[in-house]
A and B are shown apart, each in its own frame.
Chain A
């Protein structure tokens, strides 16, 4: 045992040295040189010391990490934890209720200024997108890397419908969802036969195609400049503006309030909260229906599901379409909130973030997705001061979390139905 430990320490040092070497090689071109804007024009400045720092940091970090892992595995037997299905946790239920209550009162708390409510709204958009994508990835097990395409379809649908036909937000919302779902079906029909990685690649391509179309179809979509002046949402017909243009009543007048731009911010916050919660309730309920169980069955074993009479194409298509539909809702909310959309808001990185939220949340855990959205969207917003290092910190946080909890933050699955105690046992108990 003793000699084992010694040998492994030598191995650890070697391992850390290898990591440091790789870090040094990578850091050399990235950190080792700097362009300096001097009087003679651009000159190259070397800062080799930085490379040494980087290598040293990686060496120490790697060594500490390995040591921590070994001491952890010594303390705990390396037995694989079996998947647990517990009773629907009362604590988790209460936690969920508390979370919703907190979300409802949040705008009225003293610290809640305009900025915080705005950020919370942004997080909620991602929570909703995460919950929507969770239907596709977490429940049905279909790896969709182009989810942002449906988000874009929703946003552009709302913008175009309201600009060209003067339709209100509340009319456009279902239409945008429907259009996004139609796109989901149109994409899904030919590609859902593909398995795993192939599906991921095709959906990735689809996301890029949609973005390219948005950029190049200038006549309709405004091209790279996007669409601006998108109609802001009204409170069931009451516009939230200082004074109504056409002599109608504004929201503030109707309720006898003084106009304040905060009203719209708070309204938008509650709107996305309601949309997100609707997504959540929908998911919680549909999971317990035959279609929801069929999604999970397909994720677990497609061949077995087929041998029981489940039509894999139709079942996958329904997951794809429903997931797309929620992205469409979120997209039209995004458009009405921003008042301006352009293809730049719908790049691949958005898909990646939404997918990361689902995976990090624990594939199928609704509360896990909320936490992950906080971490992945909320924190980077607050840490904008880090500037260019933001993406680095983002990546590092992802790596750390995946090392700490490879199964996601909350990997928990409630069974959709329980047999409970058999009747005989109940009789015996009575």
Chain B
């Protein structure tokens, strides 16, 4: 029995003026798996994310998201915040935290929808009814859990903007997890991390997949991350899909080797794709 994909992208096309940023792209993300989206700079990866999460409206194409419950959503017709409520939560290539708010407040904002219901649109919250206090305590516990997972408990009460870069990246993932996604979309989570930090990231992402059963869509340039943890890789070049498959296949795909990073010399390209070459 085949499980339906958590996300299917069909014939996705989006143009900016004359530029076709994403061109007739189709792929699927299997539930409980890590699907990586890779490609050279400007290939259109972030644009695909923006379409999935409702920040751009695609010109053509259908984006279907299915929850474990069987409910399915046509993402291209939904507002961004409704997509997040449905269970597709993303992080950003250029970190977007609430810098003036404390770390734990960032995680509380992520649980807004749930808390808002518990507070009966602020009435129960205002009267501090047990119903709300209970939900709030639960939300704080959830925040604590993810802070522990990302090693940020000690910084919990500091302003998010004052954290070092790597910690901000982890906080963004923790925040996305607090929003309760079933599909987590990560836009270059390893960018700017040192090798030790990106090793920690690998472990975090694997545990999100294995312990929490959450599907991950991952954009990443760091091949040591992509090749180690992805279940499937989709390769984009100039908005078009040029290859898709498990890491071992993609790694040796001549089309990918030719196109990826525009490397002429085959050996260097292979080294890069193995995650051995110098990182950009």
Contact in complex: B53, A307 (CB < 8 Å): yes
B101 contacts partner chain A, Cβ-Cβ < 8 Å: yes
Flag if B84 contacts A307 (CB, 8 Å): yes
Q: Contacts of A308 on B, CB cut-off 8 Å?
A: 81, 84, 89, 109-110, 112, 175-176, 179
- Distance between A243 CB and nearest chain B CB, rounded to angstroms: 43
How long is the Cα–Cα vector from A413 to B98 in the complex, in angstroms?
A: 14
Contact A310 B153 (CB under 8 A): no
Chain A, 273-326, CB within 8 A of any chain B CB = 285-286, 289-291, 293-294, 296-297, 300-301, 303-312
B147 near A306: Cβ-Cβ < 8 Å: no
Q: Does A247 contact B (CB under 8 A)?
A: no
Q: Is B126 an interface residue (CB 8 A)?
A: yes
Mark each residue of chain B from 215 to 230: 1 if its CB lies under 8 Å from any CB of chain A, else 0: 0000000000000000
Binds A, one of B157-165, B205-213, B247-255: B157-165
| Bound CA span A291–B109, Å | 9
Counting contact residues on chain A (CB < 8 A from B), the size range is 20 to 34
Whether B112 contacts A290 by the Cβ 8 Å rule is yes
Q: Report yes or no: B143 in contact with A419, Cβ–Cβ below 8 A.
A: yes
Residue A303 contacts which of B96, B115, B161 (CB distance < 8 angstroms)? B96
How many residues on the B side are at the interface (Cβ–Cβ under 8 A)?
48
Instruction: Let me know if A286 and B157 touch, CB within 8 A.
Output: no
Complexed CA–CA distance, A305 and B111 (Å): 11
Smallest distance from the beta carbon of B56 to chain A beta carbons, Å?
Answer: 12
Contact of B246 with A by CB under 8 A: no
Alpha-carbon distance between A307 and B101 when the two chains are bound, in angstroms? 17
Smallest distance from the beta carbon of A316 to chain B beta carbons, Å?
12
Cross-chain contact A419 with B156 (CB below 8 angstroms): yes
Taking a contact as CB atoms under 8 Å apart, the answer to whether B119 and A293 are in contact is no
Q: Which 4 A-B pairs have the closest CB atoms?
A: A419-B156, A309-B84, A300-B98, A290-B115
Residues of B within 8 A of A (CB): 53, 55, 79-82, 84-85, 89-90, 92, 96-102, 104-105, 108-113, 115-116, 119, 121-122, 125-126, 140, 143-144, 147-148, 153, 156-159, 161-162, 175-176, 179
> Which residues on A are within 8 Å of B, measured CB to CB?
82-85, 285-286, 289-291, 293-294, 296-297, 300-301, 303-312, 413, 415-420, 422
Give me 14 A-to-B residue pairs in the complex whose CB atoms sit less than 8 angstroms apart, sorted by A's number.
Answer: A83-B99, A291-B121, A293-B112, A296-B100, A297-B112, A303-B96, A307-B53, A307-B89, A308-B112, A413-B100, A415-B157, A418-B102, A419-B140, A420-B157
